[in-house]
């Protein structure tokens, strides 16, 4: 296999990226669109008509629907053919996740099964383990769950108290412990359970069948949202786990848990994208029907603002998610070309983009919270009725900021990982950052006035990068080892990075789309891009100021002046841009951008 070259994760901070080098959703091929359609057809036939039954957990319907998805092949999209799956690319899996993501509680069960439930075994299991379980998981015969969290070990997942001890005859590990908040816990057949062997400092992972003696399941938790998703505590009391069911090596569990979460995070962003599109459709349908003061409420500027902003954030998320997904795919191909087998290549490929996965989890979940919140508002009093679909969308969205690592943990990870990767020489962050620090002593105009539309936007994005690099350099230089105790500042800098990544991804997508379809076809997309860049500039400036005033000592004024310089963009009639975007949405009566 010829060697596949890749970009390094986090590199977007320091490099200029060419639009031709990224993937845009308009490039999905026919086969991928057919898979997407199959997912939506399944939802329309089996899931959406049963949402109330699912939320009431009638007749174990969720378990039945997992089996039905298995019959259709939807559980095996990412599974290699030798384990009876369809061996589709990471990108295609993400596309399917977008569709399934729009199915409320069902999405959570599906994701837990196909993602955190199946992937630890698929990526870390030995051949015998995979042959034994994966085909049955891909067919839906066995449902899966991932058991990491404990009552006293949530964000600090490695602090769990569950223990495993080798039996005297050396044939079993005797597992004892308690797990909490386990998705699919009420019906899962196969569990990946994380526990420490003897007095180990780090976790190991075990494959446990839920019908083994000593495994007990608590009643379902009562939750604010995703009510149809099964969430339970599980207890393990002297459970005899055969030694051949140790997953990976002893002490490798924590690494398994973390590596699986990179993928979980970006997939959660894809889920949020699907939910956002469905919710926008509810919102615009309602706005086009509801009349007040003799007019449809969709004709009011205040409502158009909300509709447009829902679209803008969704479009920006979509641009960013698929850009990163394709890069992960390319990285997987790169590691395979270097001789890594399927699982190891997937682990390395996603770990390469850990920064992007974490920032997309944050952006995607917060984008969705905005979309559902404004959808309730657009429905007015009816939005507060439990009989309306936006009620479910609103309640179900909230969990996304909590699981797969809370957004606080992910925000801290983004900047921390970017810095650590640079310190490990994965890419040069501090060299370009030092250049920016020189530049701020003698600032040159960002624009010279001769720029074309896209040249101007690229120069803005390049200036945003300088703002972020300056913040990272001056923050680390000033705080040094104290940085870890200044979480607020780290979160500010992460917010700068998020806005930069999303703005750049939107720019690259629209620019590439224009080269494919021509300027006339992307007028609305340019409207979106204008607002994204304009807003990103203001948000980067605000987060940057919050950070700089919190750590800078003598040079605060110099840094603030440079920050303002790098984040000042031309004025924009945002009202008109948003009205044009909203008008298109209102005319189509659905999200179509």
Chain contacts with ligand FAD (rule: CB under 6 A)? 112, 146-149, 154-155, 181-183, 223, 231, 399, 402-403, 406, 408-409, 487
Give the span between the Cα atoms of 100 and 43, in whole angstroms: 7
Q: What is the DSSP letter of 22?
A: S
Nearest distance, CB of residue 156 and ligand FAD, angstroms: 6
Rounding to the nearest 10 degrees, give the CA dihedral for residues 462, 530, 98, 83.
-30
CA separation for the pair 55, 193 (Å, rounded): 27
Q: Smallest distance from the beta carbon of 225 to ligand FAD, in angstroms?
A: 8
Catalytic residue among 11, 366, 374, 404: 404
Distance, CA of 213 to CA of 190 (rounded, Å):
14
For the question of residue 404 being annotated catalytic, the response is yes
DSSP 199: T
3-class secondary structure for 246-286?
EECCCCCHHHHHHHHHHHHHHHHHHHHHHHHHHHHHHHHHH
Q: Which is nearer to ligand FAD, 256 or 582 (CB)?
A: 256
What is the four-CA torsion angle of 555, 556, 558, 563, rounded to 10 degrees? 140
Q: For residues 103 and 39, is the Cβ–Cβ distance under 8 A?
A: no
For residue 119, what are the CA distances in angstroms to 75, 344, 426, 442? 12, 11, 26, 51
Rounded CA separation 337/356 (Å): 23
DSSP 3-state of 291:
strand
Closer residue to ligand FAD, CB minimum distance, 181 or 254 = 181
Please identify, using beta-carbon distances, which residue of 106 and 146 lies nearer to ligand FAD.
146
In the bound state with ligand FAD, the residue whose beta carbon lies nearer, of 120 and 349, is 120
Nearest residue to ligand FAD, using CB? 154
**Is the CB of 248 or the CB of 349 nearer to ligand FAD?**
248
Give the C-alpha separation, 272 to 159, whole Å: 30
- Read off the tokens for 369: 């919270």
Closest alpha carbon to 417 in 482, 349, 497: 497
The beta-carbon contacts of 288-292 under 8 Å, at least 24 apart in sequence, are 288/586, 288/589, 290/380, 290/382
CB of 261 or CB of 436, closer to ligand FAD = 261
Q: What residues contact 447, with CB distance under 8 A and at least 6 apart? A: 456, 459
* Residue number with CB closer to ligand FAD (112 or 422): 112
How far is CA 237 from its chain centroid?
35
Q: Give least dist CB 411 to ligand FAD, A.
A: 9
CA distances 450 to 444, 446, 565, Å, are: 15, 11, 19
* Residue 206 and residue 196 in contact, taking contact as beta carbons nearer than 8 Å: no
Residues constituting the chain: 593
Cα separation, 330 vs 348, in Å, equals 11
Burial track 550-563 (b if 16+ CB lie within 10 A, e otherwise): ebbeeeeebbbebb
To ligand FAD, the closest distance from the beta carbon of 375 in angstroms equals: 21
Contact status, residue 118 vs residue 260, Cβ threshold 8 Å: no
Which residues carry out catalysis? 404
């Amino acid at each position: 296999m010829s060697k596949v070259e890749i970009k390094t994760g986090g590199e977007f901070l320091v490099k200029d990226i060419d639009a031709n080098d990224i993937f845009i959703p308009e490039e999905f091929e026919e086969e991928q669109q057919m898979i997407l359609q199959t997912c939506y057809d399944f939802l329309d036939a089996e899931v959406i008509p049963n949402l109330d039954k699912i939320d009431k957990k009638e007749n174990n319907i969720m378990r039945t629907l997992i089996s039905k998805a298995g019959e259709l092949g939807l559980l095996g999209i990412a599974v290699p053919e030798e384990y009876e799956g369809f061996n589709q690319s990471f990108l295609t899996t993400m596309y399917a996740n977008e569709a399934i993501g729009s199915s409320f509680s069902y999405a959570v069960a599906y994701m837990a099964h196909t993602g955190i439930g199946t992937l630890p075994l698929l990526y870390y299991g030995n051949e015998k383990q995979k042959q034994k379980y994966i085909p049955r998981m891909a067919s839906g015969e066995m449902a899966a769950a991932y058991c990491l969290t404990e009552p006293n070990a949530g964000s600090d997942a490695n602090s769990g108290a569950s223990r495993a001890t080798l039996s005297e005859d050396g044939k079993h590990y005797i597992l004892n412990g308690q797990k909490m908040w386990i998705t699919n816990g009420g019906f899962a057949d196969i569990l990946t359970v994380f526990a420490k062997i003897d007095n180990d400092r780090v976790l190991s992972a075990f494959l446990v069948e839920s019908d083994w003696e000593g495994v007990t399941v608590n009643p379902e938790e009562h939750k604010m949202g995703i009510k149809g998703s099964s969430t339970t505590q599980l207890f393990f009391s002297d459970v005899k786990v055969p030694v051949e069911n140790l997953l990976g090596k002893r002490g490798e569990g924590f690494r398994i848990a973390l590596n699986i979460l990179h993928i979980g995070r970006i997939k959660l962003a894809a889920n949020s994208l699907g939910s956002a599109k469905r919710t926008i459709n509810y919102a615009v349908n309602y706005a086009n029907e509801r009349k007040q003061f003799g007019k449809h409420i969709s004709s009011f500027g205040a409502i158009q603002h909300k509709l447009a902003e829902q679209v803008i954030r969704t479009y920006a998320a979509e641009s960013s998610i698929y850009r990163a997904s394709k890069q992960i795919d390319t990285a997987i191909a790169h590691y395979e070309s270097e001789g890594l087998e399927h699982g190891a290549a997937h682990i390395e490929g996603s770990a390469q983009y850990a920064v992007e996965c974490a920032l997309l989890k944050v952006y995607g979940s917060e984008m969705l919270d905005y979309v559902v919140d404004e959808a309730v508002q657009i429905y007015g009093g009816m939005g507060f009725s439990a009989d309306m679909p936006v009620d479910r969308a609103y309640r179900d969205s909230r969990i996304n900021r909590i699981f797969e690592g809370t957004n606080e943990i992910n925000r801290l990870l983004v900047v921390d990982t970017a810095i650590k990767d640079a310190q490990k020489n994965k890419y040069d962050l501090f060299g370009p950052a030092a250049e920016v620090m020189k530049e701020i002593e003698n600032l040159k105009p960002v624009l010279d006035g001769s720029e074309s539309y896209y040249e101007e936007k690229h120069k803005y994005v390049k200036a945003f990068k300088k703002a972020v690099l300056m913040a990272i350099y001056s923050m680390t230089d000033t705080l040094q080892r104290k940085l870890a105790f200044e979480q607020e500042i780290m979160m500010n800098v992460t917010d700068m990075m998020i806005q930069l990544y999303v703005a750049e991804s939107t720019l690259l997508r629209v620019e590439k789309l224009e080269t494919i379809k021509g300027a006339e076809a992307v007028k609305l997309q340019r409207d979106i891009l204008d607002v994204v860049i304009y807003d990103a500039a203001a948000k980067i400036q605000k987060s940057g100021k919050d950070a700089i005033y919190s750590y800078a000592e003598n040079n605060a004024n110099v840094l603030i002046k440079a920050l303002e310089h790098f984040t000042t963009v031309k004025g924009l009639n945002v009202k008109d841009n948003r009205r044009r975007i909203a008008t298109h949405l209102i005319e189509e009566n659905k999200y179509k951008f």
